[in-house]
Amino acid sequence: MPIRKEITTVASAAMPFEEDWALRRCRYAPEQAPVGRLCIAAGIHGDEMMGQLICYEIAARILQEPDSLAGIVDLYPILNPMGLDQGRRRVPVGTPIDMNFCFPGRPDGTTLEVLCHALLHDMLGADLVLDVHASTQYKSELYEIRTNEADAERLIPKARALCPDLIWVYPEHAAYGRSLTSALCSAGTDALIVEADERRRKPQEIAGGIVSGVFCKMREMGLWRGAAREMPQGEIPIVRTREEICRVTCEAPGVYVPEDRIGQRVREGEILGSVIDALRGEVREAVLAPASGLVFSQRSYSAVYPGTLIARIRKEPV
Set out the domains of the chain in order of their start, with CATH numbers. Answer: 3-221 (3.40.630.10), 243-315 (2.40.50.100)
Closest CA to 76 of 17, 22, 24: 24
Per-residue pLDDT averaged across 91-101, rounded?
85
Of 129-143, 205-219, 293-307, the poorest mean pLDDT is in 129-143
Distances (CA, A) of 124 to 73, 103, 151, 189, 318: 14, 13, 17, 6, 42
Angle at 202 between CA 198 and CA 205, to 5 degrees: 95
Helices 203-221, 50-64: inter-axial angle, 10-degree rounding: 50
The answer to whether the beta carbons of residues 313 and 246 sit under 8 Å apart is yes
The answer to whether the beta carbons of residues 286 and 252 sit under 8 Å apart is no
- Report residue 1's pLDDT band, with 50, 70 and 90 as the boundaries: low
pTM (two decimals): 0.94
- Specify the pLDDT at position 200: 55
- Specify the pLDDT at position 201: 61
DSSP letter for 93, please.
S
Q: Torsions phi, psi of 256, nearest 5?
A: -90, 125
pLDDT tens-digit map of 59-88: 999 999 999 999 999 999 999 998 988 888
- Residue 252 CA to residue 232 CA, distance in Å, equals 41
Per-residue pLDDT averaged across 245-264, rounded?
96
Percent of the chain with pLDDT over 90: 78
pLDDT tens-digit map of 233-247: 888 999 999 899 999
- Report residue 174's pLDDT band, with 50, 70 and 90 as the boundaries: low
Per-residue pLDDT averaged across 88-109, rounded?
89
pLDDT score of 17 more than 80? no
